[in-house]
A and B are shown apart, each in its own frame.
Chain A
Amino acid sequence: AAGVIQSPRHLIKEKRETATLKCYPIPRHDTVYWYQQGPGQDPQFLISFYEKMQSDKGSIPDRFSAQQFSDYHSELNMSSLELGDSALYFCASSRRGMDNEQFFGPGTRLTVL
């Protein structure tokens, strides 16, 4: 069965650079969630989209933005990167009305040097 796809899987950037993370949800899923997991931490919710509109906002820094496109894929844009942004970034998708069970992608490991 198709799963959530994230790209790239690994990304190395320097401070003050920008990064774009991509997420392709499971087909027919209409909701996408982004999470940040720092070393030794539990995942923290950043932002979610439902039917291409922002649904909810968590602890997402102002330097980050995200959007969901017409094909339901989503991109997380991160600017002015800081050392503390180094983390695993997970995307999850769900289908509203189908238990809202979230299925997670493998994550993108971002390292900021």
Chain B
Amino acid sequence: KQEVTQIPAALSVPEGENLVLNCSFTDSAIYNLQWFRQDPGKGLTSLLLIQSSQREQTSGRLNASLDKSSGRSTLYIAASQPGDSATYLCAVMDYGQNFVFGPGTRLSVLP
């Protein structure tokens, strides 16, 4: 059974710092991996989708990498801003269309 973990559980940084969020999964037979952002009490916003055949995806200040063989993905946020404060969730989809979420990293960017 696929298990997804995220480290750290919470992170507080001053504005302008570059930071890395980590996601690990136990079963490397994944179809894709998706990073989401969730604001308190709100819905999930898709940030980046990486197919199993890809190594990384970039969107603006965000870069996500995938190392399927080691069961890891990282989300890199450059020049963090207070508006980036949210919970960041990674989720992996297997070939059976099962989508498993990690517990999330709660990020606070201080002005």
A interface with B by C-beta (< 8 Å): 31, 33, 41-45, 48, 50, 55-56, 58, 88, 90, 92, 99-107, 109
Of all A-B residue pairs in the complex, the 10 with the closest CB atoms, nearest first, are A104-B44, A106-B43, A42-B101, A101-B49, A42-B103, A43-B101, A107-B43, A104-B43, A56-B97, A45-B99
Of A42, A50, A56, A101, most B-chain CB atoms within 10 Å: A42
Which of B13-21, B29-37, B59-67, B77-85 is near enough to bind chain A?
B29-37
The residues of B that contact A45 with a CB separation of less than 8 Å are: 98-100
Interchain CA distance A28-B34 in the complex, whole Å: 21
Flag if B43 contacts A100 (CB, 8 Å).
no
The residues of B that contact A92 with a CB separation of less than 8 Å are: 44
From residue B13, how far is it (CB to closest CB) to chain A in Å?
Answer: 22
Q: A99-B49, A100-B32, A101-B49 are in contact. Are A90 and B43 (CB under 8 A)?
A: yes
CB of B45 closer than 8 Å to a CB of A: yes
